[in-house]
């Protein structure tokens, strides 16, 4: 197990092809100070989901008077945009306000072509914010991957009544809203959808899109995680499947011990980026 103070880390094995390619850490993020150096091109992407965490790392480098040219500071959405741009694929996404307005249209019972949307108990048809929250949470948990949704349905079937029905209603609501949004626009529904589209490009091009976009990068460090969402897990899985890049995942100390035990199961999902929608 990794140790925050010493920076020790433990590789996880995702089959023989991925042995030692992913390394998990609990804390230990500032060991990157040892890798700071002048460079003509960056060789390591520091992937932090929160911009504040990126700024904190940059501040530590400045305080230590260390160069940062070897690092490229990104989040998963910006990396995904770069990959899609490389393929000439649109990376336009809806923002939350757009989605709320479109959900209101989905719920307009006066519209003759308004699709049926499952409304969970306690959620009213005039409450698009609650419905968007359900859609977002389901997307974060499952990435709309068929294997994870099947697991959700299987687990729901083992729960007592009425919890089983309520659990299935949440899934049906999220899928209804996502389908309805997709029917109304050609844009990507969310930043998670953006990451998912880039994930598919990594695997379908067998990593060629990564090489074209990030030819000098040989290390990907994912920093400051208090959890590992399904979209991030699928994206990292695709990087490992399609490239020879070494991936280092740094969990925060509060949840890191638990998450390091959960990570191998997250990567058991095949075909990263696949969704249930046609």
pLDDT, tens digit (0-9, with 9 covering 90-100), for 99-110: 999 999 888 754
DSSP string, 174-213: HHHHHHHHHHH-SSBSSHHHHHHHHHHHHHHTTTHHHHHH
Looking at residue 141, what is its pLDDT?
95
Q: Where are the domains of the chain?
A: 10-89+216-266, 96-186
Neighbours of 154 (CB within 10 A): 9
Query: Looking at residue 51, what is its pLDDT?
Result: 81
Would you state the pLDDT for residue 2? 35
pLDDT per position as a tens digit, 82-96? 999 999 999 999 999
Predicted pLDDT of residue 208: 97
pTM score, whole prediction: 0.89
pLDDT for position 53: 81
Annotation: CATH topology of 10-89+216-266: Rossmann fold (3.40.50)
Residue 97: how many CB atoms within 10 A of its CB?
Answer: 8
- pLDDT at residue 1, rounded to an integer: 34
Low-confidence ranges of the chain (pLDDT < 50): 1-8, 13-17, 110, 112
* Predicted local distance difference test score (pLDDT) of residue 116: 73
**Predicted local confidence at residue 5, as pLDDT:** 35
């Amino acid at each position: 197990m990794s140790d925050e103070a010493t920076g020790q880390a433990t590789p996880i094995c995702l089959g023989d092809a991925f042995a030692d390619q992913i390394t998990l850490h609990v804390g230990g993020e500032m060991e990157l100070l040892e890798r700071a150096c002048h460079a003509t091109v960056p060789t390591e992407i520091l992937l932090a989901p929160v911009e504040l965490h990126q700024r904190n790392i940059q501040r530590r480098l400045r305080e230590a008077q260390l160069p940062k040219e070897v690092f490229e500071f990104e989040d998963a959405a910006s990396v995904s945009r770069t990959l899609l741009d490389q393929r000439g694929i649109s990376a336009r996404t809806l923002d939350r306000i757009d989605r709320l307005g479109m959900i209101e249209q989905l719920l307009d019972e006066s519209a003759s072509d308004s699709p049926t949307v499952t409304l969970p108990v306690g959620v009213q048809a005039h409450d698009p914010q609650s419905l968007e929250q359900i859609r977002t949470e389901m997307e974060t948990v499952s990435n709309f991957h068929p294997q994870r949704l099947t697991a959700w349905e299987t687990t729901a079937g083992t729960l007592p009544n009425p919890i089983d029905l309520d659990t299935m209603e949440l899934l049906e609501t999220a899928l209804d809203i996502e389908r309805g949004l997709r029917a109304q626009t050609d844009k990507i529904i969310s930043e998670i959808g953006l990451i998912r589209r880039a994930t598919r490009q990594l695997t379908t091009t067998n990593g060629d899109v990564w090489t074209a976009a990030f030819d000098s990068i040989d290390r990907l460090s994912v920093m400051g995680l208090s959890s590992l969402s399904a979209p991030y897990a699928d994206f990292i899985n695709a990087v490992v499947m399609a490239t020879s890049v070494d991936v280092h995942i740094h969990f925060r100390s509060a949840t890191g011990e638990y998450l390091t035990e959960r990570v191998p199961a997250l990567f058991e999902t095949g075909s990263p980026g696949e969704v249930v929608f046609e």
